[in-house]
A and B are shown apart, each in its own frame.
Chain A
Amino acid sequence: SLRLRRSSEKIYNFMDAQYYGEISVGSPPQNFSVIFDTGSADLWVPSSYCVSQACAFHRRFKAFESKTFQHDGRSFGIHYGSGHLLGVMGRDTVKIGDMTILNQEFGESVYEPGSVFVTAKFDGVLGLAYQSLAEILGNPVFDNMLAQKIVDQPVFSFYLSRRTRTSNPQGELLLGGIDETMYNGSINWLPVSVKRYWQVEMDSVVVQGAGSFCPSGCHAILDTGTSLIGGPTRDVMRLQQLIGATPTNNGEFVIDCTRLSSLPRITFILGGKEYTLTSEQYVRKEAFGINDLCFSGFQAFDIISPEGPMWILGDVFLTEFYSIFDRGLDRIGLAQA
């Protein structure tokens, strides 16, 4: 039951995922758009046998058309609020760009519950966390890339742009290296504290002129599969007050867009280095009719872990800082994007 519970948490969070890219599975290749998620470790795509409404809106894997497909025989389930995402496991060739990964374990979902995936713009998920987080037995994709010596360097890097209308690319994942054109200044390296998520120790979170949170240190996860910054309820509720955010019926927090210039800066201190977000960076503006709505980029997550209180640094943070995930030395690099 712990395993099911663990994976259930992944699926819900995809409500906030925003960035996706293309991969292919099978021979000849069948294309899918997937979230490249550092907060999970499995690869799954919809199956051609999927009977759910959600699957009708997405590309589905046709195992019978792939010459390299190997049936696994095991099923997998991802518990999901009022239902389960159910699937079967298999192995096949996966291509990402020009790179070919052989015998990759992956899941084909045959039942996707509820309405979430009807709305999703992506077909599936490709997890980039450590193997200990994987639900599907076998190596996660990047582990297989390392085992098959497909990449020279055991690192991957994310550039995520928040200026989607004008920027090209809107984001970039570089597998096997670091793109020096995507950041300014030097890289600050942080050791991974627990090899499960991409988890590091955080020194503190400081609100300009109003005190700090986790003053004696806490842990943070860098997660490309979510958009917000999460933290313990007690801290985040106080943080929402300090930035003048008020709750909605949906558990979101809105801010008066005209007040943005007066809001404090918020600084995350990691490895002794300050990572500061201005209000323009931590507030999310979303068009709503003819107006913009401003949402707080912070969300309460109570995470009970052996390491104590945890924060989640999602896209709101990662759009400002180029991030490098180094499996060779088990460390995360951050630099000004």
Chain B
Amino acid sequence: AMVRVALRRVPSIRAQLRTQGLLEDFLKEHRPDMFNRRYAQCFPPGTP
């Protein structure tokens, strides 16, 4: 009762956007502060 799943490694979306010269525009468009929010479970009220 085990299963092996082969994983493929590919360039990250960030690396692809950088290679295409699109990363800077992407980050401007998509508010880079959002990158820091992923793990925050509960920002205190009033946190910018």
With the chains together, A10 CA to B41 CA distance in Å?
A: 11
B31 near A81 with CB under 8 A, answer yes
B12 near A17 with CB under 8 A, answer yes
Residues of A within 8 A of B27 (CB): 250-251
Given A9-B38, A249-B24, A301-B36, A21:B15 Cβ within 8 A: no
A304 near B44 with CB under 8 A, answer yes
- The size class of the interface chain A forms with chain B is 35 or more
With the chains together, A243 CA to B14 CA distance in Å?
A: 22
A94 to chain B, nearest CB (A): 12
Residues of B within 8 A of A172 (CB): 4-7
A134: interface (CB < 8 Å): no
With the chains together, A173 CA to B44 CA distance in Å?
A: 37
A235 to chain B, nearest CB (A): 14
A193 to chain B, nearest CB (A): 14
Q: Name B residues whose Cβ lies closer than 8 Å to a Cβ of A.
A: 1-19, 22-24, 26-27, 29-32, 34-44, 47
The 7 A-B pairs at the shortest CB distance, nearest first, are namely: A9-B38, A171-B7, A97-B3, A176-B2, A152-B1, A177-B2, A21-B5
Q: Could you list 21 examples of A-B contacts with CB < 8 Å?
A: A2-B41, A9-B39, A10-B38, A12-B35, A20-B8, A21-B7, A22-B6, A39-B38, A82-B29, A119-B16, A150-B1, A152-B1, A162-B9, A169-B7, A173-B4, A174-B3, A176-B2, A301-B36, A301-B38, A305-B40, A312-B39
